[in-house]
Structure 1
C-alpha cells in the first residue's frame, strides 16, 4: 500500500469496481455508501478505536463516553495525567489502559507524529503504529481506512472480509481479485462488509 489521497466522490471508484460483474451486482444491491473524510483528530480517533475493540457499537460508545467524562478531554496530556486505576474504573481493560497510555506517551515524545500521519505512506503509518502495545496490523489498517480515509486498503486480517471475498470469488486467488479492485479497495471492502450484513440478515448471496 502506498500513499493515495482520500476520495471526494465515489463516481470513478464505483465505475472501476463495477468492471467486476460480481461486485457490480453487490454495489447495485447495497446502493451508494457515504464518502469517508479524514478525521481532524487522528490521535483521538485512534484512542476511540482502541476503547471500542472487541465490543458492540453500543458498548463501545458507552465506554468512550465514560472515558471522556473522566478525562474532560481525550488527549495525550489528560491520558498521561490519569492513573491506570481511574481509566480501568471508566471501563477500559488493563490491556487497553496500557495501549492508550503508550499511545499518549508516543504522541508526547514524538515517537508517533499524529499531526503528520496524513502525509505519510500507508505502510509508513502502519510501521509507526505497530510498535504500540495492543496495536496490530488490523487496527492500523482500520485507522488508515476510517481515520485517514485512504482509498486503497483491504484488510486480509479481517475475518469478515476474507469470508466475503471467498463467497464472492470462490475460485480465484484473493490477490488476483484485490489487484483488480485496486486502487479502490477500501470502498470494495465496505461493499463486502455491507453485503455480508445483507446475507446474514437473510438476503440471497450473490
Structure 2
C-alpha cells in the first residue's frame, strides 16, 4: 500500500533528490517549483483533465470555459442532464463525451467515490479510475500528481519523462534511478519536465 501524502514543503524533498548529483544540478538550474496542494473538487478536476487531453493549454482552457458556459456548473448532474450533441457543441469529441458522462455516472452511483479518493492509496485510486472509458494509467497518474498532490508518482507512460530520464541518466536503467528518488518522485518528475522545457528552449543539455 502506497499513500504518498502531499508535501507541505519542498525542503526535505530537494535535499533527498540532491543526493543524486545529476538531479542536484537540475534543481540548481531550474530553481524552486511551487508546492502542489490537493484540489477541493476531485471530480471537477478529472473532468477538466479529460477535456484538455491532447490539447494545448490555451485550447484546453477555451474548451473548459465553453463547457462551463454551456452547463453553468460542471457537475455529475449537469453532465448527465446534457445531451451528447450539447457537449459536442461545447467542443468535446465524441470520445470525450463518452468519458465525461461515464465519469459522471460513476460519481452518481458511487462506483467511484470521489469524495474519499484522497484517503485511498495510490494504486487503489488508479484501480478506481481505470474502468472508466478513456481513462488510462497515464491519466490516473497525472490525477494523483496534480489533483491529489501525491508526493511519490513518476509516470513512465509519459514520453517526455522517459526521454528526460534517458537524457539525464543515459547509462543507468530507470529501474535503478527511480528508487533513488523515492519517496519524492512527483517532484523529481516536475524537475525533469522543467529541465526538458529548458533544453527545448535552447538551454545547454546536461
Give the TM interval when normalised to the shorter protein: over 0.9
| Structure 1 equivalent of residue 132 of structure 2 | 132
1: CA distance, partners of 2:205 / 2:32: 19
Cα distance, 1:4 vs structure 2 = 1.9
- Which residue number in structure 2 is paired with residue 14 of structure 1? 14
Q: Which residue of 2 aligns with 1:70?
A: 70
Map 1:22-171; keep pairs closer than 5 Å: 22-171=22-171
What per-residue deviation string (whole Å, max 9, x for no partner) do you get for residues 51-99 of structure 1?
0000000000000000000000000000000000000000000000000
Gaps of 5+ in 2: none
Separation in 2 of the partners of 1:140 and 1:2? 15
Name the count of aligned residue pairs: 206
Compute the TM-score of the two structures, normalised by the length of structure 2: 0.99
- Aligned counterparts of 1:153 and 1:5: Cα–Cα separation in 2: 11
Q: Which runs of 5+ in 1 are unaligned?
A: none
Aligned-partner SS, 2:157: coil
Cα root mean square deviation, aligned: 0.6
Off by >6 Å, runs of 4+ in structure 1: none
Distance 1:123 1:5 in 2: 13
